[in-house]
């Protein structure tokens, strides 16, 4: 018998059974006042309702959610969902689908393609091997953070203290064609589309020359440019010129 709903004044278990094994995977016990009940604290004197677990942040469970007892949820490409006691088991079962953490994880290694949803949790260390890249793990619109630092360089194979968050800037663009002649001047205005709730965006401009970036004093959304021929004497069309400025998020 597994429970996936219902309210109970008292649940008694016989020897050999435990409170987690009574639950359908991904479900948890909740008190009448809405408080989640840890599996380790569940007993026959607790009146509960069985509901789908929301896996609230709680490091007391170690690498599993203390309320449902699972470490990760897998959604396969055919839409089927399974729950796993360790992140490693979930990664092995992913089959190209999505692995979603339900609790903070220790060290995880990914060696075959899948999408990773860290779901607000943190992995102590994330390693990719073989053909898998860090970038390939990210769901659309998300980026990695290490501690509180956004990770923009995804060329490595390892991140520590890693979490994932929605990129606050949806898109950023500037005109790719400008009617500037060489030696002429113009103003570049960057258009920014932000996620709802994102605060002010700050700008930092860089001059890139011979592959080296030089930070400029300009901090505005617009920048004045002068096209100089001398840095690229061989170039015949504007598209042959390297960008004079790039934008990074701070």
* CA 6 – CA 32 distance, rounded (Å): 12
- Binding status of residue 55 toward Zn ion by CB under 5 A: yes
- Binding status of residue 103 toward Zn ion by CB under 5 A: no
- Binding status of residue 27 toward Zn ion by CB under 5 A: no
Closer to Zn ion by CB, 63 or 203: give it: 63
- Binding status of residue 68 toward Zn ion by CB under 5 A: yes
User: Least Å distance between CB 139 and Zn ion?
Assistant: 20
Written as six digits, the tokens of 147 are 């501690």
Closer to Zn ion by CB, 100 or 245: give it: 100
* CA 129 – CA 137 distance, rounded (Å): 12
Selected range binding Zn ion among 59-67, 126-134, 208-216, 239-247, rule: CB under 5 A = 59-67
- Binding status of residue 110 toward Zn ion by CB under 5 A: no
Pattern 141-170, binding to Zn ion, x per CB under 5 A? ------------------------------
Q: Which of 11, 51, 53, 247 binds Zn ion (CB under 5 A)?
A: 53
- Binding status of residue 105 toward Zn ion by CB under 5 A: no
User: Least Å distance between CB 56 and Zn ion?
Assistant: 8
- Binding status of residue 87 toward Zn ion by CB under 5 A: no
- Binding status of residue 65 toward Zn ion by CB under 5 A: yes
For residues 123 and 72, the answer to whether their CB atoms sit within 8 Å is no
Q: What's phi and psi for 128, nearest 5 deg? A: -115, 145
- Binding status of residue 223 toward Zn ion by CB under 5 A: no
- Binding status of residue 29 toward Zn ion by CB under 5 A: no
* CA 149 – CA 138 distance, rounded (Å): 16
- In the chain, which ranges are E strands? 7-8, 27-31, 36-37, 48-52, 72-75, 81-84, 98-101, 105-110, 115-117, 123-128, 142-146, 149-150, 158-166, 169-173, 185-189, 191-194, 204-209, 212-215, 222-226, 246-248
User: Least Å distance between CB 68 and Zn ion?
Assistant: 3
- Binding status of residue 67 toward Zn ion by CB under 5 A: yes
* Count of residues that interact with Zn ion, criterion CB under 5 A: 5
User: Given the rule CB under 5 A, which residues bind Zn ion?
Assistant: 53, 55, 65, 67-68
């Amino acid at each position: 018998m597994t429970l996936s709903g219902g309210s109970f004044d008292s649940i008694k278990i016989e020897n050999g059974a435990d409170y987690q094994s009574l639950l359908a995977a991904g479900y948890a016990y909740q008190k009448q006042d809405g408080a989640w009940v840890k599996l380790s604290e569940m007993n026959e004197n607790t009146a509960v309702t069985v509901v789908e677990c929301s896996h609230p942040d709680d490091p007391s469970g170690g690498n599993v959610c203390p309320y449902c007892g699972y470490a990760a949820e897998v959604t396969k490409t055919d839409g089927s969902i399974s729950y796993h006691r360790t992140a490693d088991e979930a990664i092995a079962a992913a089959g190209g689908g999505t692995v979603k953490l339900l609790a903070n994880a220790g060290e995880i290694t990914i060696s075959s393609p899948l999408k990773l949803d860290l779901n607000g949790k943190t992995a102590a260390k994330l390693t990719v091997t073989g053909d898998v890249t860090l970038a390939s793990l990210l769901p659309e619109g998300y980026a990695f953070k290490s501690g509180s630092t956004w990770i923009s360089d995804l060329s490595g194979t390892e991140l520590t203290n890693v979490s994932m968050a929605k990129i606050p800037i949806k898109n950023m663009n500037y005109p790719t064609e400008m009617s500037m002649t060489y030696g002429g001047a113009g103003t570049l205005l960057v258009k920014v589309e932000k996620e709802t709730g994102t605060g002010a965006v700050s700008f930092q401009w860089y001059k890139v020359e011979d592959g080296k970036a030089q930070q400029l004093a300009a901090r505005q959304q617009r920048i004045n440019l002068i096209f100089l021929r001398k840095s690229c004497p061989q170039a015949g069309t504007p598209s042959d010129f390297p960008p004079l400025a790039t934008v990074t998020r701070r």
